[in-house]
Amino acid sequence: MLAKESLKNELIFKATRSSGSGGQNVNKVSTKMELRFQVDDSEFLTYEEKELIKVKLKNRISQDGFFILTCDTERTQLANKKNVIELFFELIEKALHKPKKRKKTRPSKASIEKRLKGKKIQSEKKKNRSLE
């Protein structure tokens, strides 16, 4: 949990007006939240983690090195800020997740026999069709 808190301190937030429907309220209230995170300047992430984030999330990183997320789904600024923070940590965790390396295994004798038996039955079916 401490890791998330230290990363949260490096986030930059900006509130802007949402687009879309909502009547006059859209023109008056800045509820859309934009989250910016400077990947290279992060003190918490290691060099390898920064490079991994840059590769896996390259479509969300601007030319000046900012990882940018926006949220305008809710009607309040606070709710949108909460959602954008959750999305940020979700994407960072996915980017930093390393899948387990697959161990090669050999098929068991029983599975080989079962497969060959199935092939034999299918072969017999097709042979019988030509005899009819």
Which architecture does CATH list for 2-96?
A: 2-Layer Sandwich (3.30)
Residues lower than pLDDT 70 in the chain: 1-3, 20-27, 132
Please tell me the predicted confidence (pLDDT) of residue 2: 42
Backbone angles phi, psi at 30, to 5 degrees: -95, 95
pTM of the model: 0.69
Residue with tokens 């090195």: 65
Is residue 60 within 8 A of residue 35, CB to CB? The reply is: no
